[in-house]
Amino acid sequence: MRSFYGCSQKRRCGERKGLPRTRHCEAMWLEVGGLLRGTCGQLGRTVGLPCGALGPGPHWWGPCGGSWAQMFHKDGPGRGLGEEDIRRIREARSRKTPRPQLSDRSRERKVPASRISRLANFGGLAVGLGLGALAEVAKKSLPGGRLPSESSSRPGSSPFLSEANAERIVQTLCTVRGAALKVGQMLSIQDSSFISPQLQRIFERVRQSADFMPRRQMLKVLEEELGRDWQAKVASLEEVPFAAASIGQVHQGMLRDGTEVAVKIQYPGVAQSIQSDIQNLLAVLKMSVALPEGLFAEQSLRALQQELAWECDYRREAACAQNFRQLLADDPFFRVPAVIKELCTTRVLGMELAGGVPLDQCQSLSQDIRNEICFQLLRLCLRELFEFQFMQTDPNWANFLYDASSHQVTLLDFGASREFGTEFTDHYIEVVMAAANGDRDRVLQKSQDLKFLTGFETKAFSDAHVEAVMILGEPFAIPGPYDFGAGDTARRVQGLIPVLLQHRLRPPPEETYALHRKLAGAFLACARLRARIACRDLFQDTYHRYWASRQA
């Protein structure tokens, strides 16, 4: 049991429980909604508020597993919880809220905060990958092993992507976190026809098993952002996060009125290392020859760095979340948790705790429910782009939590939200409509109006561009249900990428990097859930509503 405060009632507390004075604090804490337990040796998992604290500092109570606990004493000063507070917390606790769970692979590990320490991790990874590749080649050259020429002839079989090297990549990205881990998570949701299957499996492990920072490091961020008296803002806060992502980790907490909250705490140093992290990661990955050539061109890297800078600004994210909460206030299917303003700073963000399971855990649901989820996702994408002109562009599965009890999806993580100008959406909606109508000439013309093309591209490039747009527009062209699970969209687009990368004369509009990542994520979610839904009428209705509002 960890406890870091003094109590004016030491002797009385210990004597009342028949315990030595050194264990008086263990006898004092009250587990709300459970039994009074004071078992020596249980590790506290909850931060509570002291009732008789003599000095500032963190206070950890509660049994392993995250049970709620709160130090309470009737003679303590005003910072303790009263009977009404206890009642509210007990009632809130009785309402079990499903939530994502931290991966079994996640470990407590200090975040390297300085650029030098982060560079050292990438340097160590590069050396480790080189040695691992040599070992893999040597092993395959032995009798009974595959020859290097045989191995390299198969896609995704680079010696740099051996199992040992895969573990090195996972461990390094989970250690440094930040922009490098974000890039890995973005690649994890790509189809295996787009990147090496081995690399895709590596990034899938990265997406599910980010490490979390130690208590001391986490407390330092809380004190720097919320002040040394940050405990006064909450009734309790769990020590171990229930989610650890690329930019920060999320802890479950409770306000004094019993409201359950999720508190996101940013890792130290990640905001200052965005550019160097991306460059270091891509330099290492190029050793594996596993990324498509031209995947991260200079313009796309600039856009990515801007988006990551936005994601590191939690005040901006809070404003975006509040905007979406207003925009979707009347939506029957989607909900946005409320922002807790007193828990919002540049590196700390508090919101209502949301329940549900990520999209990739919905594959076992009935076909009707999967269809409904995917239909609503596409409806949301169209509303965001053509009605709100404001979109949450991060398609990570964990940003969409499906709650079976309410049949609703909760939206999370608004750091990468951005606006789209009317000039852009005017042309973009016409490109989609041309594809839906099978009009290849109009697709080409509107792509030039959108400044996606110059009009001087080679015929091979123009044909490849139009074909890619037509493929992506197929769901909106078919009158009946479109079977996303049976389609080979990713493979067909993949075959066009070499031409598109080699012959492009100008970079695409800056807005399209984030937009196409979001749309690709939505299509991949539909494919993963094997959705069969009618999309044409949905888009046609969106199209007519868009121009009606523009002309009003």
The residues annotated with a catalytic role in the active site are 394
Are 275 and 305 spatial neighbours (Cβ–Cβ below 8 Å)? yes
Sign of CA dihedral 358, 363, 364, 366: positive
Spell out a b/e string for 202-238, using b for 16 or more CB atoms within 10 Å of the CB, else e: bbbbbbbbbbbbeeebbbebbeebbeeebbebbbbbb
> What distances in angstroms separate CA 412 from CA 10, 358, 373, 417, one per listed residue?
45, 11, 16, 11
**Tokens describing residue 544:** 């007519």
Sign of the dihedral through C-alpha 516, 517, 518, 522 = positive
Q: Within a 13 Å sphere around the CA of 214, how many CA atoms are in the beta-carbon half?
A: 7
What residues form DSSP beta bridges with 252?
262
Per DSSP, the residues of 356-409 read -EEGGG-TTS-HHHHHHHHHHHHHHHHHIIIIISEE-----GGGEEEETTTTEE
Residue from 277, 272, 267 nearest 210 by CA: 267
Q: HSE, CB side, 13 Å, CA atoms: give it for residue 186.
A: 22
CA angle 377-292-424, nearest 5°?
A: 45
Give the E-state strand segments of 22-63 in sequence order.
Answer: 29-30, 46-48, 60-61
